[in-house]
Amino acid sequence: MSAQPRRATLDTALRAGLGLALITFAGVALAAPDLGQAEKQATNWTAITMFAVFVLGTLYITKWAAKRTRSAADFYTAGGGITGFQNGLAIAGDYMSAASFLGISAAVMTGGFDGLIYSIGFLVGWPVVTFLLAERLRNLGKFTFADVAAFRFAQTPVRVFAASGTLVVVAFYLIAQMVGAGQLIKLLFGLDYWMAVVIVGGLMMVYVLFGGMTATTWVQIIKAALLLAGASFMAFMVLYSFGFSPEAMFAKAVEVKTGIAVAAGKSPAEAAKQGFAIMGPGGFIKDPISAISFGMALMFGTAGLPHILMRFFTVPNAKEARKSVLWATTWIGYFYVLTFIIGFGAITFVLTNPQFLDAKGGLLGGGNMAAVHLANAVGGNVFLGFISAVAFATILAVVAGLTLSGASAVSHDLYATVIKKGKADGAAELKVSRVTTVVLGFVAVLLGIVFEKQNIAFMVSLAFAIAASANFPVLLMSVLWKGCTTRGAVVGGFLGLISSVLLTVVSPAVWEATLGHPAGSALFPYASPALFSMTIAFVSIWLFSILDNSARGKIDREGFLAQQVRSETGIGAALASSH
Amino acid sequence: MDDDLTTRIASDPRYQELKRKRTAFGLWLSLAMLVVYYGFILLVAFDKPFLATRIGTGVMTIGIPIGLGVIVFTILITGIYVRRANREYDALTEQVVQGALK
């Protein structure tokens, strides 16, 4: 098809911003929040100054961390010396992206209750991580989740699989973050797109290269604390203005939405219905299959994200690993309650204020600006600068975690274990991680620039779907099922990986919304492949394991007892001081 | 870890108790989380009017406390596991480790 109509479709969707984009894409309104395209705003020096302060602070920490980053263990896991509380905050900092802050608050402003359904999906994976994986990961692993998945298996094939799963997830997640950063800097700082991509790529390289996991952890902790503090203040101000009555806040929001519908020419009855629609589920979930499949991708994807799993190796023991997920769940859950209040606050304070609206009644700068305009409304220009700087810092923290995880997959799984057969010396392995970090930094900048104009709405959900369909099944089965063998894990894992990618490509979000094929032509009608690709992965892991009569399969099954004893008791687990 | 130590721990009744209790508890709680979350999703998919039912005379609907309730439940159930693990499983693990290494 010609470029012209496709451009128009893109522009329409993008102008509508995230909330509407969620609802327009593919008829099933299920896609990850992304930051869409943004118009460049006036240069905001307050925000830039505050961001510069954040950067100086984190660079100072990186300098301090660099002195403590000597061995491979320091680089990958901060020497295992992070406490459960610190790690909980760092996990929250790794997980709460700019897209979830700006995107979910915008989705709540647009669709009310629907935004809440979305954020719940991002939270419910954490208990599963706690109950089934966190302690076992800590007891079995050293640096990467492949240490756990490959514990009793033939190293080469499982490591190759795990490194592929890691790099694919990291790549999609990274593209989404880089493009998000570029759009955000236009909106928040009024600078050019390419500057954001280069700043993020450069800083991320510095943090990871010199400070390794120690610097990455502290960048994530600081970012989480700033984001939680900023969002708490906004939610407090919103509630304060309604005398801490949620009923008053909701009533006003319904009134505002009704008024907007009346202004759009609706009859009073129709307008009242439309205004009240924010208080219940709307168009977000249309068919139950999509709803369940998407829910599975979010829930189990959380338990298969390599940069999150890696964080469990930074604490000294299983007890701290367990505590860190509880803290992470608490902070992330609290954060989603805040974004819900912020979204409703934005209906009252942003949608009614001509200062924040363009001629057509849309938000200045696009739909994702809900939280940013609200920051201005409740805290003035200085607080606006603060929130803008925090939103940008958020991307840095996520990107640093992703890079570190990608670099570890290359140096620890591929270089040290597959190529050097476990005989690499620490210094050489560390050097490979650092070279990989630099390469990933350049690749990320390049991808950020290449994908600038692309519709990347599907990328975060794709990353979750792959993590749920490839990494999670292999990890879970290798840890809990005695019968699992090398062959089953590798075949099942790769089938999950391939099927989740292929089904996403032929789903409406990519086939129609991104590749521009006509509506209704997508072969796979659902919003997320997880229900199907996870089934494919689990069934094939099981099938290829039970059919495996090889000598290797026998060794794999015999190794289960020793693995289980270590995973339950921690005897023989890598210690904080020595690992 | 050598085979001898593995066999010794594996045959320790306290180890078996630890393994059985913790795995069962973890699976039950995971099941509870699945039921609550997918129950919520199915409610959204099949009975939207129920969630949009007003409570009392204002605009507050039953969906809001249910939705926020799922968030609170997620945090609470994680807390319940961690509390029991800290009190019970850690002590049991300690006994198993002491027994095996002495």
CB A301 within 8 A of CB A465: yes
Q: Where are the domains of chain A?
A: 3-569
Q: What is the DSSP letter of A527?
A: S
The more confidently predicted of residues A373 and A360 is: A373
Task: Please state, in angstroms and rounded to a whole number, the distance separating the CA atoms of residues A90 and A380.
Answer: 29
Is residue A301 pLDDT above 80, yes or no? yes
Tokens 């390419």, located at residue: A194
Residue A206: both structure tokens together: 């510095």
Is residue A454 pLDDT above 80, yes or no? no
B contacts of A295 (beta carbons < 8 Å): 37-38, 41
Q: What is the pLDDT of residue A185?
A: 82
pLDDT average, residue stretch A375-400? 89
A contacts of B99 (beta carbons < 8 Å): none
Q: Where are the domains of chain B?
A: 3-101
Tokens 């522009």, located at residue: A11
B 49-78 → A contacts, CB under 8 A = 49, 51-52, 58-61, 63-64, 67-68, 70-72, 74-75, 77-78
pLDDT average, residue stretch A442-451? 91
Most confident among A139-153, A331-345, A375-389, A560-574 (mean pLDDT): A331-345
Give the rounded percent of residues in chain B with a pLDDT score beyond 70.
Answer: 97
The number of angstroms, rounded, from the C-alpha of A254 to the middle of its chain's C-alpha atoms is 31
The more confidently predicted of residues A220 and A422 is: A220
Other Cβ atoms within 10 Å of A427 Cβ, number: 11
Angle, CA of A355, A360 and A364, to the nearest 5°: 40
Q: What is the pLDDT of residue A33?
A: 54
The more confidently predicted of residues A537 and A385 is: A537
User: B10 to chain A, minimum CA–CA distance in Å?
Assistant: 7
Q: What is the DSSP letter of A285?
A: -
Q: What is the pLDDT of residue B84?
A: 94
Query: Can you tell me the ipTM of this complex?
Result: 0.94
Average pLDDT value over all residues in chain A: 87
> Tens digits of per-residue pLDDT, B52-101?
999 988 899 999 999 999 999 999 999 999 999 999 999 899 888 888 87
Is residue A226 pLDDT above 50, yes or no? yes
* Interchain pair A124, B22: CB under 8 A: no
Tokens 């954020």, located at residue: A119
pLDDT tier at A575, thresholds 50, 70, 90: low
pLDDT average, residue stretch B38-59? 90
Q: What is the pLDDT of residue A347?
A: 94
Q: What is the pLDDT of residue A34?
A: 59
Q: What is the pLDDT of residue A37?
A: 67
User: A489 to chain B, minimum CA–CA distance in Å?
Assistant: 22
pLDDT tier at A79, thresholds 50, 70, 90: confident
A contacts of B48 (beta carbons < 8 Å): 280-282
Q: What is the pLDDT of residue A35?
A: 62
- In sequence order, which residues have a C-beta less than 8 Å from that of residue A79 and are 6 or more positions away? A68, A71, A73, A214, A576, A577
pLDDT average, residue stretch A373-401? 90
Is residue A335 pLDDT above 70, yes or no? yes
Task: Please state, in angstroms and rounded to a whole number, the distance separating the CA atoms of residues A434 and A453.
Answer: 30
Residue A50: both structure tokens together: 């505050």
Is residue B10 pLDDT above 50, yes or no? yes
Count chain A–chain B contacts defined by CB atoms under 8 A.
Answer: 167
pLDDT tier at A184, thresholds 50, 70, 90: confident
> Tens digits of per-residue pLDDT, A5-45?
443 333 333 333 333 333 333 233 344 455 666 767 777 88
The more confidently predicted of residues A575 and B2 is: B2
In this structure, whether the domain defined by A3-569 belongs to CATH 1.20.950.20 is answered with no
Average pLDDT value over all residues in chain B: 91
A contacts of B15 (beta carbons < 8 Å): 565, 568-569
Most confident among A157-166, A273-282, A284-293, A413-422 (mean pLDDT): A157-166
CB A374 within 8 A of CB A342: yes
Q: What is the pLDDT of residue A577?
A: 38
> Tens digits of per-residue pLDDT, A455-486?
776 788 889 999 999 999 999 999 999 999 99
Is residue A257 pLDDT above 60, yes or no? yes
Q: What is the pLDDT of residue A576?
A: 43
> Tens digits of per-residue pLDDT, A505-536?
898 888 888 788 888 888 898 888 999 999 99
